[in-house]
Structure 1
């Protein structure tokens, strides 16, 4: 990793924390630190499950509990067991908490305006565009990609969402039982691998590898949630599957895809896959691809 890039990130972090008042114990002049203000904002008017708060804010469970106890002690928040699942605690704003969040919103709007006001029109446009790009890239850097149990809840959720999207997008709909199978037992080492991508504790993508024997494997179940597209998740999953294939002795990867998935075909071509004649009887496939020389990388 480039040392200059690392130093730029550190410099940026110092500039931002100083400029937005992270170091103050009275964020936006509201009399409480940023952490408490952010938890109030995330609970918002609709309330929030505590486990979701923890995931969204990347907070240690003990620290979040202390923040919630503090806010409860100030009469701003209540937390109770969810009616439909007693294992889940749900935080809600009190009437006083709702007023506090409304004031936080007002102060936040005012502060955002104070950042933009000294700049000319061109500078404001550049700053806002840079912020949007930075937010997107920070979200991308928060994505994790790791092996997962194909029978686990997150894997099942991803695969079900994947099948539902194919059913919407394919001209003839999609029935998994008619497609070339990729059963859970085929997607665990040494026969295969399933990777899941997570963001803020939620599964947002998947990709699988099946070993077909004689140094050949097949890419299956490549999918990224619509809200996470544009973050490079599919590329990371594909690269990780290729690296695993090479480590386990596979030198050739194949895959098939539907003509309605133009973005997927573009990614495969961009990564060195070339179109080949049909190699299976998948009724939903219109294009077949192959990549060779994985072990030479």
Structure 2
């Protein structure tokens, strides 16, 4: 006799311990002081960190909309900084030729010269910090910084429920379809994607993950039968992979399933998506017999949900 599956608890947010909060704040205070960002003359140049960073981000040109999302700045504050840099002859602002609603910022020759000097001084500062460590210690620090960056990126990503017909939802699905079309030996027909009405409102949910205002991942939930939901199209853009984001999206879909009265969720996956199979098993999914006629599926999974494992 096959064993009865035990409901797997769906992780719920828990308060962050005060010691963890204090440790991060303590590091922030030390690091900002150590690299000199508290000085109005960052890196010894005649401007504060905010303006210096904005010059760096403009780089080869960027729209003000893009800069707002990338830096998380208020539109008015960003405009004031851009005007100040423009008045100093470091930045030039123009209207996008194909979209008059977009304003583009680019560096002038003087701006490029300043950024080059900024980069030279920043490299010099970093070399000075690393120079006090031996090779093993530098390796340890570099690895620790990589872990911190990965986790801070993940912490900064939000996962939101959006309408299945929204632009972000459809853009993510288009990215998903193009991605797996390259990976599947037989290709992929976009006609197999979920319909907006299946994953919106009472019928289901569509989640989009946002990093700095840009959609970087998605996942869908739709009803399959009474008490059973189906998870579809869990996907993360290549630039946001290896952060643990797919698991967060999966957990979010499971929570949405619980709010809709589903105590079981199912999903299927292609034979070549071995990393997805590994993740599903690690997240409490067990393999089951075929439950659908999806021509792209080779493995079928199910998970019984329980909010707290009680």
TM-score range, shorter chain: over 0.9
Partner of 2:188: 174
Structure 2 CA distance for partners of 1:295 and 1:128, relative to 1, 3 Å: closer
CA-to-aligned-CA distance 1:244-264 (integer Å, 9 cap, x gap): 111221011011110011111
- 2: CA distance between counterparts of 1:199 and 1:64? 19
The DSSP-based 3-state class of the residue aligned with 1:190 is: helix
The DSSP-based 3-state class of the residue aligned with 1:118 is: coil
Q: Which runs of 4+ in 1 moved over 6 A?
A: none
CA-to-aligned-CA distance 1:172-222 (integer Å, 9 cap, x gap): 111132x3x521011112110000001111111000100123101000111
- 2: CA distance between counterparts of 1:13 and 1:85? 40
CA-to-aligned-CA distance 1:112-168 (integer Å, 9 cap, x gap): 111111222222221122112211111111111010121111111110010011111
- 2: CA distance between counterparts of 1:119 and 1:272? 43
- 2: CA distance between counterparts of 1:11 and 1:182? 46
2:20 matches 1:20: no
Partner of 1:137: 151
Moved more, 81-90 or 239-248: 239-248
CA-to-aligned-CA distance 1:8-39 (integer Å, 9 cap, x gap): 00100100110111110000001110000000
Partner of 2:128: 114
Alignment of 1:1-297 (within 5 A): 1-44=16-59, 46-177=60-191, 179=192, 182-294=194-306, 297=309
State whether residues 206 and 221 of structure 2, in contact with CA within 8 Å, keep that contact through their aligned partners in structure 1. yes
Q: TM-score, normalised to structure 2's length?
A: 0.92
State whether residues 254 and 305 of structure 2, in contact with CA within 8 Å, keep that contact through their aligned partners in structure 1. no
Query: Aligned-pair RMSD on alpha carbons?
Result: 1.1
- 2: CA distance between counterparts of 1:84 and 1:129? 43
State whether residues 253 and 290 of structure 1, in contact with CA within 8 Å, keep that contact through their aligned partners in structure 2. yes
**Alpha-carbon distance, 1:235 to partner:** 0.5
Moved more, 116-125 or 93-102: 116-125
CA-to-aligned-CA distance 1:87-122 (integer Å, 9 cap, x gap): 001001111111111111111111111111122222
CA-to-aligned-CA distance 1:232-276 (integer Å, 9 cap, x gap): 111111111111111221011011110011111111101111111
The DSSP-based 3-state class of the residue aligned with 2:38 is: coil
State whether residues 61 and 104 of structure 2, in contact with CA within 8 Å, keep that contact through their aligned partners in structure 1. yes
The DSSP-based 3-state class of the residue aligned with 2:57 is: helix
Structure having greater relative contact order (Cα 8 Å, sep ≥ 6):
2
Gapped regions of structure 1 (runs ≥ 5): none
- 2: CA distance between counterparts of 1:86 and 1:253? 46
- 1: CA distance between counterparts of 2:274 and 2:179? 14
**Alpha-carbon distance, 1:295 to partner:** 5.5
Q: How many residues align?
A: 294
**Alpha-carbon distance, 1:73 to partner:** 1.1
